[in-house]
Structure 1
Amino acid sequence: MESMDSIIKFNHVSFKYNSDEPFALNDVSL
């Protein structure tokens, strides 16, 4: 379960970075 959550979080952060969203840094902190 933990690994899956990490993958989902990683994909979310990658999507934010690809979208060049300023909130990406906030997601990395979380």
Structure 2
Amino acid sequence: MIQSWTDDAWEEFEYWTEQDKKKLRQIKKLL
């Protein structure tokens, strides 16, 4: 699978990896 991200989306993903582990789990479920 090829994943493509916008720069903004990647920055937001990195923010959640550092700030909110619960929200990160929810995001990963969607991916």
Q: Please, what TM-score do these two structures have when normalized by structure 2? A: 0.47
Q: Please, what TM-score do these two structures have when normalized by structure 1? A: 0.47
RCO higher in structure (CA 8 A, sep ≥6):
1
